[in-house]
Amino acid sequence: MHQRPSAATWILLTLAMACSGAHAAQKGAPSNLFDELRPLTGELARYQYLIAATPQLTGNDRLLAQQMLAFSENELGLYSEAVRDFPLRNELPKGLTAPPADRWQAVDGVDAIAALARNRRLVMVNEAHHDGHTRELTLLLLPRLRAEGYTHFAAEALDGRDVSLVKRGYPIASSGSEYLHEPLYGDIVREAIRLGYVIVPHEAADATPQGREDGQARNLYEQVFAHHPEAKLFVHAGYAHIDKQRGRIGSTRPMAMQLSKLSGLEPLSVDQTDVREQNPRSEALAYHTFRHALRKFETLTQAARQPLDSNDPGDLPARPAADIYARIVATFHPSEPIALLRIDDHTPWSARPGVYDLNIILPPANPAPSDYTQGPLWLSIDGKQQAVLPPANRGHRPPWLSLGGLRVAVPVDSEACAKKFPCLVEAHYASESADAVAADRYLFLRDARNVLYLRPGAYRLRSVGADGQTLNERAIVVTRP
């Protein structure tokens, strides 16, 4: 029997965890965590292991496990949950202020990058590995940069050992790292192949911080510019790999900086990770509201054994402080990826001038808080009951998954799961093999209905149980409404 915490205690603890800060890079990883994860090749198996293991860890080990859990959630289509459960916070330069509307204007981010890339030969766009929303921009840019003469595409997740990738036309589970198992990353690779880019895997064998940056830069130079001096290269990478100066990763010289030295080319570096929906305002507001209500109750009844403090909380809850992302959103109201340009000379706005050239601001994707009042969901993992947070964003999948109307919302449900959870429902292109990266997928944690976002066409719709076995499979055809 598991002992369930009181509703108030559970809600406060889980909200606090969801609203706490996190950092991307962790050192001194627990070797046993990686040893246990290494043989788990499926995303569902890794997710279940991390759900069970994370509560047993402390300090940096727990933070690393939370980050890896967010990776798994992202790969399983739980995009809002991944952002909520690992609220990555970047430390921005001191004194940085949001650009005011009287001096800056919002423009379409894809248009801005395409215009800036026209006279360049090297474009680099970064992503947050646990936030699939940061992959939408690259998918939208692929045809635009191809039209501007870009010839090569490099993606951090690809593995050079998949020699059949281009001939096959789509990635499979063994084509690269776990990041590639996320459906949008799979579509990035499909689209790059379809458009005729030369695909360039560039991961380095040296795993030390500087060795990895140097190795990636050297691989890109040797595979592209050393043999094709007129090539134009588009790189999709993580976090600070795209930086042109040291700083975000300490004294380590980033990959972009090293590639620039080797090639003599200055990259157009585009950041999406510094100013993004790091911690949904809906979750932070829910935390502040509930914490205030609990403090008010304790003050009025004088029944709390350990009051949070002796001050009367007042009649209104304190609102969470607005970060720079929230202030930009409140000023410019983005509904698509935007760049900010100075009104007088069209210079792009960068939170770190010299480190990268411009920030792309993505619209908020998670307006509704999780329904913490229902308490945790309970999953049976290896015969034990494990508590997980309720669905983020009230269970609604983020609207950016439609890719501006390219994909259609297709209703799915958990009927085939036979009330055994977690249960994965995924769609595969009918023309692709069973081990292909899914077109979209969603992990059900309870009986519910939801949607997959799919392009018009033929698919195999499959339900997979917690043990990895297929429960149901059927053919579907998606058409535009």
Euclidean distance between CA atoms 341 and 117, whole angstroms: 15
State whether 346 and 465 are in the same domain: no
Report yes or no on 428 lying in a domain: yes
Tokens of 296: 């008010």
Instruction: Give yes or no for a contact between 189 and 164, defined as CB atoms under 8 angstroms apart.
Output: no
State whether 270 and 214 are in the same domain: yes
State whether 119 and 241 are in the same domain: yes
Euclidean distance between CA atoms 124 and 269, whole angstroms: 5
User: How far separated are the first and last CA of the chain, in Å rounded?
Assistant: 48
Euclidean distance between CA atoms 255 and 159, whole angstroms: 18
- The reply to whether omega before 348 is within 30° of 0 (cis) is no
Instruction: Give yes or no for a contact between 186 and 440, defined as CB atoms under 8 angstroms apart.
Output: no
Instruction: Give yes or no for a contact between 10 and 4, defined as CB atoms under 8 angstroms apart.
Output: yes
Tokens of 39: 């043989």
The one-digit pLDDT tens for each residue of the chain (481 residues) are 444 444 444 444 554 554 554 544 434 445 577 777 878 878 999 999 999 999 888 888 888 999 999 999 999 999 999 999 988 778 899 999 999 999 999 999 999 999 999 999 999 999 999 999 999 999 999 999 999 999 999 999 999 999 999 999 999 999 999 999 999 999 999 999 999 999 999 999 998 999 999 999 999 999 999 999 999 999 999 999 999 999 999 999 999 999 999 999 999 999 999 999 976 656 665 655 555 555 544 554 444 444 444 454 455 445 555 689 999 999 999 999 999 999 999 999 999 999 999 999 999 998 888 877 777 899 999 889 998 988 999 899 999 999 999 999 999 999 999 999 999 999 999 999 999 999 999 999 999 999 999 999 999 999 999 999 999 999 999 999 8
Number of domains the chain contains: 2
DSSP characters over 63-108: HHHHHHHHHHHHHTT-HHHHHHHS-B---PPTT--PPPTTTEEEEE
State whether 159 and 267 are in the same domain: yes
Euclidean distance between CA atoms 434 and 444, whole angstroms: 21
For Cα atoms 26, 63, 37, give the angle at the middle one, nearest 5 degrees: 85
* CA-based max dimension of the chain: 76
State whether 230 and 126 are in the same domain: yes
Question: Angle at which helices 136-147 and 109-117 pack, to 10 degrees?
Answer: 40
Euclidean distance between CA atoms 408 and 401, whole angstroms: 9
Q: Which domain holds residue 447?
A: 407-481
Euclidean distance between CA atoms 427 and 183, whole angstroms: 10
Report yes or no on 48 lying in a domain: no
State whether 136 and 196 are in the same domain: yes
CATH of the domain at 346: 3.40.50
Among residues 319, 343, 359, the one where a domain terminates is 359
